[in-house]
Amino acid sequence: METRELQSGFAIEVVNYKSKRELKSLRKLLLRFGVIFIRDMELDFEELESLARVFGDLQDISGKPSSTSLPTDNKYIRTMEYDGAPVDFPAGWFWHSEMSYSEIRPSGGLLYMTKVPESGGDTLFADQRKAYSQLSTGMQKYIENLTCVHEVGWWFKNKPKKGTVQNVVEIHPETGERYLNVCDVFTTRINGLPFDEAKYLLTFLQNHASNDLWTHRHKWTKNSLAIWDDRLVQHKAVHNFNGERVGHRIQIV
């Protein structure tokens, strides 16, 4: 299996994935690089599910509607479909980690793209380990014991009754790495600070999380797969395309 590192320590492409015997290596790559890309794979739902299980247990997402996704016959797979027409409020257009507001948030995600527009429709991925490490020592110390609220607004079709309180800086349970844990669309406030201070700090951290210096832009091709660690990585779809964009998503518990 050959690989191509896309940024230093972040985002890697598997160039010639050939065998199921290489699956265990993919998990090690994911923990090291945060997001993996593989092109030119032809997968049915059974094969996609089998590949996803290498990274952990799967989340039943059959009953979680959104503006741009539909359930399938497989309870672990939803079809993400968008034709360029306006929708209510697709969270995917904003920087986020999947369901970060949930009591049991996903640890990772897979998206297998089967139809892509002729141009546009890329996805951005941002390394939250790098985001944390590039804060000044003083800022790291300032935020290390702060908590924040992750929740969703009125626009969410399956809105939970309440959000969750989480650490602004989290520690990855497998690698021990610290990473920044705020995002644009689901982090609504920082606790324990005066209102204005909390507001400005949150805005700064949200902008810092997606700095171009630690962001990778992925151009999709037909039958390509992305696998990411949803704790170490935030992502955002770029809404700059016309025509259909169709993919199939799985979430790892």
The Cα–Cα gap between 13 and 11 comes to 7
The Cα–Cα gap between 141 and 35 comes to 28
Q: What percentage of the chain has pLDDT greater than the value 90? A: 72
- The sign one gets for the Cα dihedral 231, 144, 217, 85 is positive
Give me 166's structure tokens.
């989480």
The Cα–Cα gap between 114 and 46 comes to 15
SS3 annotation, 170-212: EECCCCCCEEECCCCCCEEEECCCCHHHHHHHHHHHHHHHCCH
- Which residues, 6 or more positions from 61, have their beta carbon under 8 angstroms from its beta carbon? 71, 75, 76, 77, 78, 249, 250, 251
pLDDT recorded at residue 90: 64
pTM score of the predicted model? 0.93
Residue 39's SS3 state is coil
Low-confidence residues of the chain, pLDDT below 70?
Answer: 18-20, 64-67, 83-91, 154-161
The Cα–Cα gap between 123 and 239 comes to 9
pLDDT recorded at residue 67: 63
Q: Are 179 and 206 in contact (CB under 8 A)?
A: no
